[in-house]
Chains A and B, each alone.
Chain A
Amino acid sequence: MKRNTTYGLLAASFLTVLAPVAQAATVTNVTGEVDVKGHVTGICAVLIDGQPGNSFQGTIDLGELAGADGKLAAGLTGSTISGASKSFTVVCNSATPGVSLSATTMLGDAASVLTGYTKTVNYTAKLDLGQADGTTKTFTYVTAGNPAATTGHLSAPLSGNTNNVTVSVNTLATNGSLLTAGNYGQAGGGTGGVISITITPV
Chain B
Amino acid sequence: MRLTGTLMVLGLLASSQIAMAAGTGQVNGSVSLKGHVTNQICTLGTVNANDSIFNVGVLVDTGTGYLSSNLAVPPKILSGSFCNTKSVISIVATPMKAQDVGASAPSGFSQAVDYTATASGWTTTPAAYTTSAAANPGASQIRPTAFSGDITVSLSNFATTGGNTLRLVSDPLYQGIVTITLAASS
Question: In the complex, what distance in Å separates the CA atom of A56 from the CA atom of B23?
Answer: 13
Q: Which chain A positions have C-beta within 8 A of B30?
A: 55-58, 194-197
Q: How large is the interface on B (under 10, 10 to 19, 20 to 34, 35 or more residues)?
A: 20 to 34
Bound Cα distance from A60 to B33, whole angstroms = 5
Residues on A with C-beta less than 8 A from B85 are 181
Q: Are B28 and A54 in contact (CB under 8 A)?
A: yes
Question: Are A65 and B23 also in contact (CB < 8 A) when A116-B82, A197-B30 are?
Answer: no
Nearest-CB distance from A152 to chain B (Å)? Answer: 14
Establish whether residues A45 and B27, one from each chain, have CB atoms under 8 Å apart when the complex forms. Answer: yes
Any A CB within 8 A of the CB of B57? no
How many whole Å from A188's CB to the nearest CB in chain B? Answer: 3
Q: Name which of A43, A55, A62, A201 has the most chain B CB atoms within 10 A of its CB.
A: A43
- List chain B residues, Cβ under 8 A from A157: none
Contact B25 A201, beta carbon cutoff 8 Å: yes
Asked whether, in the complex, the Cβ of A195 is within 8 Å of the Cβ of B32, the reply is yes
Are B84 and A178 neighbours in the complex by a CB distance under 8 Å? yes
Q: Is the CB of B32 within 8 A of A197?
A: no
Prevailing SS type, chain A contact patch: strand
- Residue of A65, A86, A116, A199 near B36 (CB, 8 A) is A65
Chain A's closest residue to B26 (CB) is A200
Q: Which 8 A-B pairs have the closest CB atoms?
A: A188-B34, A43-B23, A193-B33, A187-B32, A116-B148, A62-B35, A185-B34, A187-B34
Tell me if B145 is interfacial: C-beta within 8 Å of chain A: yes
* Range class of the A interface residue count: 35 or more
Tell me the complex Cα distance, A65–B23, Å.
Answer: 38
Please determine whether B32 and A58 come into contact, CB atoms closer than 8 angstroms: yes
Nearest-Cβ distance from residue B101 to partner chain A, whole angstroms: 43
Q: How far is the CB of B176 from chain A (nearest CB, A)?
A: 31
With A70-B39, A182-B36 known to touch, is A54 a contact of B84 (CB < 8 Å)? Answer: no
Question: Is B37's CB under 8 angstroms from A114's CB?
Answer: no
Question: Could you mark each residue 13-52 of chain B with 1 if its beta carbon is under 8 Å from any beta carbon of chain A, else 0?
Answer: 0000001101111111111111111111101000000000
A64/B31 contact (C-beta < 8 A), A41-B20, A43-B25, A54-B26 known: no
- For B113-149 the 0/1 string (1 means CB < 8 A from A) is 0000000000000000000000000000000011111
